[in-house]
Amino acid sequence: MLLIAGLTPHFLEKPVLWWAQNETEIIEKRALTPLWRDNTAVIESGVVLKQSEFLRTLADLGYEKVSGALFPGTFKHLGSTILIHPINHAHPYAIDFLGSVIKSIEERADVERASISYEAGPRKLHEFKSGDYVVHIDHGIGIFRGIIMHEVEPRAHVKESSFQGESLGTRKGLPLEDSLLVTPYFKIEYAPAREGGEPDTLLVPVSEKKRIEAYLGLERPRIHRLGTQLWSNTKRKAKEDIIAFAKSLIRLYRTRTAVTRPPSRGCSPLRRDESPPYGADPLEKEIGDGFEHELTPSQSRSLEEIFADLSKPQPMERLLAGDVGFGKTEIALRAALRVAMNGKQVAILAPTTVLADQHFQTFSERLKRTPLSVAVATRLQSDSANRKTFAGVGAGTVDIVIGTHRMFSRDVAFKNLGLLIIDEEQRFGVRHKEHFKEKYPAIDILTLSATPIPRTLAFSLAGVRPFSQIEEAPRGRKAPLTSVFPFSKKLVREALAHELKRGGQTYYLASRIHTIPKTLELLKTLAPKAKCAAIHGRMPEKDILAAMRHFRRRDIDILVSTTIIENGLDISSANTLIAEDATRLGLAQAHQLRGRVGRGEHQAFAYFLYPPHHLTEDAEKRLEYLMEFSELGSGLEIAKRDLELRGAGNILGRDQSGVANRIGWNLYFQFVNEAIGEMEGLSDA
């Protein structure tokens, strides 16, 4: 007997294990409850059932026919056999028909299937997955084969951090005693000691996990042999190359740190004409107390690191990484307050007018009790309004200005610019960021990002640029439930109905601008009672903001949009995202979009759909990572995978990219960091 669950939000919330534990009860409920009867199917061997009727049932449940690899929610029709991967099972099944009778039903783990799986749910950030390439600092690159329980003699367990051998059952020379410890070990597989032999294995106590890193690189790595000098020689040569590279990085970095500027310290002036130092900072405390949430530990730590940088004579250039909705803006606001209250100006760069408008509203409201002047400059403002703002910037009467690319115009000149905050830095090019450095060499720079671009991430991981990370989600926030499926009208209809029923709103991501009218027509048939509107980048910006304000006021149920919604929207009632063609999205971009939902108390849903008959290997890999790293706080891990997929040749250079691939980028950046620290220590001495 095989139970097949349909594609509904309620069912997608349940893991495979839940379905297995409750299968008997569910089958019984089908006779009593329309919900279960209409959204599930049960088939048995020997039952009379026409193949055509079964195919119609699958279509009604939302399953899509594919020609390539099987995904959960898909099936193949191969003559008298139907291969299906139910969403409630870990593996596909083969259903063979003999005329109008089901001849057999067999689980088929051997069937080619996509690597995207719902079997184990999202990967924890500290977990490895069986089959992952990993790097042991002492033994090199191997393949992770899971966690096993193993018996060891207590004294040996204390002395040994790992042991190796072809057999996992015993260890040569281990004394046999009655008092054995059963201990969890990471099992890592290495190359066989001789050609044609069994792979060697290494068992590493879970307590020694710090000695293992995930392998990230652009090529399939060479699996090392245990007990040889190859890995030691590889590490030694890599360190030699890295030391030479680190010297060039330090020279590059010190060209900026050679500049000095007056430090910004805690202050609270009563009048604009006072001179620092001002003494205590009750104003900063008052602004901080006005924040609706208590700072998380990593927010507090990040703020302390930024304040420490601002108090030094050298300019700050720090990356603040934190997942979407983790409170980067609050830290940036407090940094801006400190610099502005020290008599310097602050510029905040936002990639879109929507985000700039939201920041202006936030900064104006939070800082209204201060003597500071906050202004906004975008294409949405009239020319005369922008001229007035920039005149104030030049005269020094505007303390904080928030703007988009308009800030790069030649007519923009600051009287005393002290701090540049770049929000969503992945949306700005290198030339944009260097523009302000060239004009104002002594400015402090704070870069905010949930998914840093490869160049920024590479230099931050290498220790060249100071790096702060907000790691915890605000209290009470839940991760959106991420699903990857072929496009299905049934699934879209169910997802929209579920969100409307609970009084929420939906973002519907259209693949292209010219498809939006067709999408609106489709939504009229799938959700006839819903109020829909659309926005895209070619609309007048005032119309975009007007639509967003209507959506914020909940006058709109479904907002059809292009990726213009990627940055800056914080609407707690919008808890469903549907991307109709996720193959067109970059990995970091998809993660940013997922962060638009799940900001309220309800469980949010993010559906990344794809064309059933068109999925490239790269797109499949992106969607796999999106599924695996769907926990809150996954942004940095997503950025690392994006670095792996996009490559670092233009970031590190071809030679250094080769070094990084030989030992894995995690270990590479660790070595760079150590080399820079050692050389800076020598120069300080």
Task: Please compute Rg for the chain using Cα positions.
Answer: 29
Instruction: Tell me which H or E stretch contains 389.
Output: helix 383-395
Round to whole Å and give the CA distance between 634 and 77: 37
Q: Residues 400-407: what's their mean pLDDT?
A: 90
Place of tokens 């960091």: 673
Closest CA to 566 of 585, 550, 547, 583: 585
Instruction: Supply 9's token pair.
Output: 């939000």
> For residue 81, what pLDDT is reported?
93
Among 68-77, 251-260, 550-559, 620-629, the range with the most confident prediction by mean pLDDT is 550-559
Q: For 93-111, what is each residue's pLDDT tens digit?
A: 999 999 999 999 999 877 6
Name the pLDDT band for 6 (thresholds 50, 70, 90): very high
State whether the Cα torsion 22-27-31-36 is positive or negative. positive
pLDDT surpassing 70 at residue 226:
yes
pLDDT for res 649: 47
**What rounded mean pLDDT belongs to the chain?**
82
Tokens 């670092």 identify what position? 648
Judged by DSSP in three states, 81 sits in strand
How far apart CA 372 and CA 370 sit, in angstroms, is 5
pLDDT of residue 154 exceeding 90, the answer is no
User: Per-residue pLDDT averaged across 369-386, rounded?
Assistant: 89
Closest CA to 503 of 535, 533, 530: 530
Q: Of the spans 151-160, 411-420, 581-590, which averages the highest pLDDT?
A: 411-420
DSSP 113: B
Q: How far apart are CA 137 and CA 212, in angstroms?
A: 6
Say if residue 192 is preceded by a cis peptide, omega within 30 of 0.
no
Summarised one tens digit per residue, pLDDT across range 648-679 is: 544 555 566 677 778 887 787 778 777 777 76
451 pLDDT higher than 90: no
Q: What are phi and psi of 656, to 5 degrees?
A: -70, -30
How far CA 570 is from CA of 56, 116, 177, in Å, comes to 41, 29, 62
402 vs 257, higher pLDDT = 402
| Contact present, 142 and 651 (Cβ < 8 Å) | no
For residue 527, the model assigns a pLDDT of: 95
- β-pair type (212-214, 133-136): antiparallel
DSSP conformation letters of 511-525: SSGGGHHHHHHHHHH
pLDDT at position 168:
40
Reference 569, options 618, 505, 631; nearest CA is: 505
All structural domains of the chain: 2-107 (3.30.2060.10), 133-225 (2.40.10.170), 282-470 (3.40.50.300), 481-631 (3.40.50.300)
